[in-house]
Amino acid sequence: MKKSFPLLFILTLLLQPAFAHTPPGTRLYTYKDVIELAKKQSPKYRSSSVLLENRQWQYKTYRSNFLPQLTLSGVVPEYNRTIEPLLNDSGSLVFINTHNANSSMQLSLGQEIWPTGGYISVNSQLKRIDDFQADANSTRYSSVPATVTLNQPLFGFNNRAWDRKIAPLRYEEAQREFREDMEEIAKEATNHFFNLLLSQIGYQIAQKNVTNNDTLYKIAKSRYEAGSIPENELLQMELTLLNSTHNLEQAALDVEANTLRLKVFLGITDDDQIQLILPDKIPMFEVSEELAIEQAQKNRQRVIGFKRELLEAEMRLAKAKGETGFSANLYASFGLTQQAIDIQEAYNDPSQQQRIRMGFSIPVMDWGRTDAIIGTAQANHTLVKSNIELQKINFEQEIYLHVKRFKILRKQMEGAKRADEIAEKRYLITRKRYLDGKIGILDLNIATEERDKASRSYISALRNFWHAYYTLRGLTLYDFENNMPILVEEV
């Protein structure tokens, strides 16, 4: 069985030595080549990878919040020469001249206590005061060799505890979203690939039609001169030749425009032409609705999003309760301190220092404000749960229907391929019968139109199949061809 012209053209390319019929300055791309380029260098890939990198840094920032933080701070020096007010022993306010310099250095090691929302730190501090007054002109030191400080909120909202639940989900969402973005890029690359392929096939068909119609016009002209056909048939053949020439010019413009669009999408900046190879090798695998739904629930970003949204609603409810009712805060510190003229003596025989403070807040009369805030948070929590349940149902239905559609498109593509072969064979038979004078020009034109339409329909069916293929991969993040989840290298 003879193939249609597009298939003959592609097979000729494949059977010849590599690039044997590829003009200089032309790139030969398969469908897989275009997909790989789109996933590695396209502007949309760079945008998605930068977004994922941003989420990675956010996650690292979150993790650092639960690790000890060592900080060195200081003032070296603070110089003062001014007149300041001073309250004397009699209770009168007098102004005195001051002339001094203060320097300080503090080393602090702190750690958040995420289960309780508290913060504990160990601090060491050294201060120096230089008094430049003529009657004093002295230097003194004050040291705090070590101080342990605890700041613990009581009965309040614990932000860090909720962070530990939500932040890892956000990061996992970002990773899965990046994988889904790669499949979206593949789908868009599919559209650009087949737009150009259709225009290239259309250009080849238009070239062939011009050649055939020119030959047929010359034959018709000789027949007309011999008186075997009427002038009307000759004029019809001439009009067909003119239309095919116009179609060839339009097809050339379409090739140029779609080549430019594909290059822009792939991030290609050179002036080389692009020649595409028909992706007619279809992966053979079966997809069940149950497996697709199962893998989507394991791999999709949206599933993690359901958990995160519900936790965020619970967090907002806990925050409303924790920030509107009774709250208290405990502050305590214990350490050592000393002061002396000499820096070494400032660390000798230090004295103890202790500080403890308990503060609290109780709403006495707020005119229903607390109830309103908590009620709003509870209503929002209920609404989020209802929306998530509805989205889960739609989520599974979308996958179920797409698997059904994928199976139908595979059958349609196989039918379109067979129709293309039949239309090509019918055209060749009709053309031979016309040349033998057994049928008129109208029958030949109909066969030509049906052949061209069948060729384009086959390419469109291929486009629909591959688009559905990557849509299915994106909906499940699963490679059904190789029976494994879709993994993407870290950015």
CATH number at residue 22: 1.20.1600.10
Looking at the fold, whether 194 and 276 belong to one and the same domain comes out as yes
Secondary structure class of 24 (helix, strand, coil):
coil
Looking at the fold, whether 49 and 189 belong to one and the same domain comes out as yes
Looking at the fold, whether 224 and 286 belong to one and the same domain comes out as yes
> In the predicted model, is pLDDT for residue 25 greater than 80?
no
Please report how the helices 31-41 and 159-226 are oriented relative to each other, as an axis angle in degrees rounded to 10.
140
Contacts 24+ apart (CB under 8 A), 484-491: 485/295, 485/298, 485/299, 486/179, 486/182, 486/183, 486/299, 487/179, 488/178, 488/179, 488/182, 491/49, 491/52, 491/53, 491/56, 491/178
Judge whether 153 and 328 are in contact, CB under 8 Å: yes
Residue 318 domain-assigned (yes or no): no
- Comparing CA positions, the residue from 462, 483, 475, 488 lying closest to residue 184 is 475
What pLDDT sits at residue 1? 36
Looking at the fold, whether 288 and 205 belong to one and the same domain comes out as yes
> In the predicted model, is pLDDT for residue 5 greater than 70?
no
How many residues are given for the chain?
491
Secondary structure class of 269 (helix, strand, coil):
coil
183-238 pLDDT per residue, tens? 999 999 999 999 999 999 989 889 988 998 898 888 888 888 888 888 888 888 88
Q: How far apart are the first and last CA of the chain?
A: 49
- Residue 220 to residue 233: CA distance in whole angstroms: 8
Tell me what the mean pLDDT of segment 251-258 comes to.
94
Of all residues in the chain, the percent with pLDDT exceeding 70 is 93
Average pLDDT, the chain: 86
Q: How many CB atoms lie within 10 A of CB 29?
A: 20
Residue 53 domain-assigned (yes or no): yes
Tokens of 460: 């469109």
Tokens of 483: 């029976």
What pLDDT sits at residue 21? 55
The reported pTM is: 0.80
Looking at the fold, whether 39 and 171 belong to one and the same domain comes out as yes
Looking at the fold, whether 391 and 459 belong to one and the same domain comes out as yes
Looking at the fold, whether 290 and 231 belong to one and the same domain comes out as yes
- Residue 416 to residue 216: CA distance in whole angstroms: 29
Tokens of 444: 């030949």
305-338 pLDDT per residue, tens? 999 999 999 999 998 888 887 888 899 999 888 7
Q: Count structural domains, the chain.
A: 2
Residue 368 domain-assigned (yes or no): no
Residue 317 domain-assigned (yes or no): no
> In the predicted model, is pLDDT for residue 37 greater than 90?
yes
Give CA angle at 329 (327, 334), nearest 5°.
Answer: 165
Judge whether 373 and 320 are in contact, CB under 8 Å: yes
With tokens 């039918």, the residue in question is 415
Looking at the fold, whether 269 and 393 belong to one and the same domain comes out as yes
Looking at the fold, whether 295 and 338 belong to one and the same domain comes out as no
Range of the domain at 20: 5-58+164-308+384-485
Looking at the fold, whether 256 and 392 belong to one and the same domain comes out as yes
